[in-house]
Structure 1
Amino acid sequence: MEQRTRTRMGTAAAGTADRVRRGIRAGLAVGVAAITLATVGGCAFGRPKITVPPPNWATASPSASYDPYNPTPSYTPGYDSYSPSPTQETYDPDGRSDVRGSGCDFSSSLRQFTYTVSITNPSTTSSYSYDMRIDWMKDRPADGSSYGQHQRSVVVAPGATETYTAKYTLNQSTWQAFWYTCQITRATKSKM
């Protein structure tokens, strides 16, 4: 015959189990009440915001997709894309803006004026011939008269720069001190 005896330990364990069950029920009740209050108050588990697409949405291609959690639609427009043709280069026969001068000088021993000229062709497709004229002008007083001039034609490839030194030698063997300037008086360009 088997005897069962209750011990204090058994009673204590049974009491603990009852308290745990009551605690679980109370916790569940509090959780349900909190969820109910939050939902009724409008601050939990709100519905996703859905943006109504614009009126021309119906013309989108069949590959259109729409995600209510990401209201930016992704679709291919129902028209062909347009890419403009490259603009044609403009041609200005006055090439002075393509020309730079430096080193305006006079050598008394050689009786020679010099001036370094650089021509840059801005075109990416066409070669140009530059008809150049350099004048060494009287200065102080500047009366518009020239001591001498140099003329030359230079062909410049697309996007290239050509540099040369313009020279003019005085015919006279003696002279007094004088003032002068170097000027690019002509740079006419023509397409090759």
Structure 2
Amino acid sequence: MRTGTGVRGGARTGVGAGARTGVRAVVVAGLALVTVATVGGCAFGRPQVKVPPPFPSPTYSSGYDSSPSYDSSPSYEPTYSPSPAEETYDPDGRADVSGSNCDFSDSLRQFTYTVSITNPSMNDSFSYDMAVNWMKAKPADGKAYGLHERSITVGPGDTETYTAKYTVNQSSIGQFWFTCEITRAHKTRR
């Protein structure tokens, strides 16, 4: 009968399929166990790896030395505090000078002007090379009637006052207009 081949095929299918399914289940179960054991660290020992100690990072002893130093002990270098900066000043000392009482005496034929110099430094003495001019005012054409020059030393924080004078050589002077100007106060440290 032709139905026997069907039975043989069915028997083979029944036995073969069951056996394959069982083998597959065992293989899958075995792989799962190996995976779990490996992940958990139980099945195989981890290899022993020795990590060398880290090298110390390079340090530079100064901003000018470009070679690295690998010494891990702290270095003790002397520290230097900067010397106090020398006080600066403007050699044009006219800001330190003021004037008052610009006058002319007819009887003495003399110009006068009171000059005060205040040294703003609390540390240094300064010498002031002064020049005072009496200038024509009307018209103000740049003409000078007289000039007084003097050098005076002023101590730290001190004020010195003096009267600048200039005598006119003419015997008679008519009416005129004038101004007093401090045209120079050159300042040098003493």
1:169 aligns with 2:159: no
Choose from 87, 90, 93 the match for 1:92.
90
Which structure has the bigger radius of gyration? Answer: 2
Alignment partner of 1:172: what SS?
Answer: coil
Choose from 141, 145, 155 the match for 2:139.
141
CA shift, 1:90, in A, is: 1.7
The residue that corresponds to 2:179 in the other structure is 181
> How many equivalent pairs are there?
110
The residue that corresponds to 1:127 in the other structure is 125
Choose from 101, 112, 115 the match for 1:114.
112
Alignment partner of 2:156: what SS?
Answer: coil
TM-score, normalized by length of structure 1? 0.55
Residue identity over aligned pairs, in percent, reads 69
CA shift, 1:86, in A, is: 6.2
Higher strand share: 1
CA shift, 1:175, in A, is: 1.8
CA distance in structure 2 between the aligned counterparts of 1:85 and 1:113, rounded to whole angstroms:
48
CA shift, 1:176, in A, is: 1.3
CA shift, 1:91, in A, is: 1.4
TM-score, normalized by length of structure 2? 0.55
CA shift, 1:89, in A, is: 2.2
CA distance in structure 2 between the aligned counterparts of 1:189 and 1:84, rounded to whole angstroms:
27
Counterpart of 2:141, as a letter, is D
Counterpart of 1:103, as a letter, is N
CA shift, 1:128, in A, is: 0.4
CA distance in structure 1 between the aligned counterparts of 2:153 and 2:118, rounded to whole angstroms:
10
CA distance in structure 1 between the aligned counterparts of 2:174 and 2:89, rounded to whole angstroms:
45
The residue that corresponds to 2:56 in the other structure is none
Alignment partner of 2:129: what SS?
Answer: strand
Q: After the TM superposition, which segments of 4 or more aligned residues of structure 1 sit over 6 Å from their partners?
A: 83-86
CA shift, 1:88, in A, is: 4.3
Listed one character per residue, the Cα deviations across residues 82-123 of structure 1 (whole Å, up to 9, x for unaligned) are x99866422110000000000000000000000000000001
Counterpart of 1:122, as a letter, is P
